[in-house]
Amino acid sequence: MRIVATVPSGERPLPAGFESLEPFVTYWAVAGQNERRHQRCDTTFEEIRRFYDAMLPRADAAMQHLSGFPLRDMPGPEARLMRLVLSLAQASMAVEVQGSARVPNAPWPDTVRILTEETL
């Protein structure tokens, strides 16, 4: 399964001020909790760490910026920024909790699915 976030032509990837995070949009700004968990599990610890290190210092400012927009109806750049923030929660499991990309000694791919009533 290959999942990516796309940026419609004519739209900026992220809101002004968050340009440094643009390299992470394609992989990490995907819609859906199950998809974001998939991205975290389907890459290396080094890649997760790279995203975590770039995203963490900007997370608070990002949430500050996004607080001015309705959660379920954000413009494209804001929606992608929100998904980067949400992916940080996934990445933190690898970096802060497990110390490895996935749960050690668990199979990958696995049959675990996160099923939500709405897709953020």
Partner 1 sequence: MRANFTQAAGLGTGPMSFEPYRTQAHFELERERIFRRTWLIMGRIEDVPNAGDYIVKEVEICNASILITRQASGAVKAFHNICSHRGNQVVWDTKGTRKTMFRCPYHNWTYGNDGKLLAVSDEKMFFNLDKKKCGLDSVQCDVWDGWIFINLNPDNRVSLREYLGSMGEFLSGIPYPNAHRSIRIQAYLKCNWKFLIDAFSESYHIPVLHSKTIGPTFSGKINPMSHLQNAEFFGPHHSISLFGNPDYKPEEAALVEKLAYAGMVSENVLAANQSQDTMDLRAHRSVNPAKSQTWSMDINEIFPNFHLDVAGGGFWTHEIWPITQDFSRYEMRFFVPKPETVREAFHQEHYIARLADVVLEDLANVERTHKGVAAGVKKQMHLQEHEVLIRRMLKLHEEFEESATLEEALKRCAWADSPDTAEPALEPVA
Q: Is 92 in the site for partner 1 (CB under 8 A)?
A: yes
Residues 6 or more apart whose Cβ sits within 8 Å of residue 11: 76, 77
Q: Which stretch binds partner 1 (CB under 8 A): 5-13, 20-28, 42-50, 52-60?
A: 52-60
Question: Look-up: residue for tokens 């690898």?
Answer: 94
Q: In 10 A of CB 110, how many CB atoms?
A: 10
Q: Which stretch binds partner 1 (CB under 8 A): 3-11, 17-25, 29-37, 43-51?
A: 29-37
Q: Is 7 in the site for partner 1 (CB under 8 A)?
A: no
Q: Which is nearer to partner 1, 10 or 113 (CB)?
A: 113
**In terms of C-beta distances under 8 Å and separation of at least 24 residues, what long-range contacts does 45-50 make, across chains too?**
45/94, 45/100, 45/101, 48/91, 48/94, 48/95, 48/101, 49/94, 49/95
Residues that bind partner 1 (CB under 8 A): 33, 36-37, 40, 52, 56, 59-60, 63, 66-67, 71, 82, 85-86, 88-93, 95-99, 102-103, 105-107, 110-117, 120
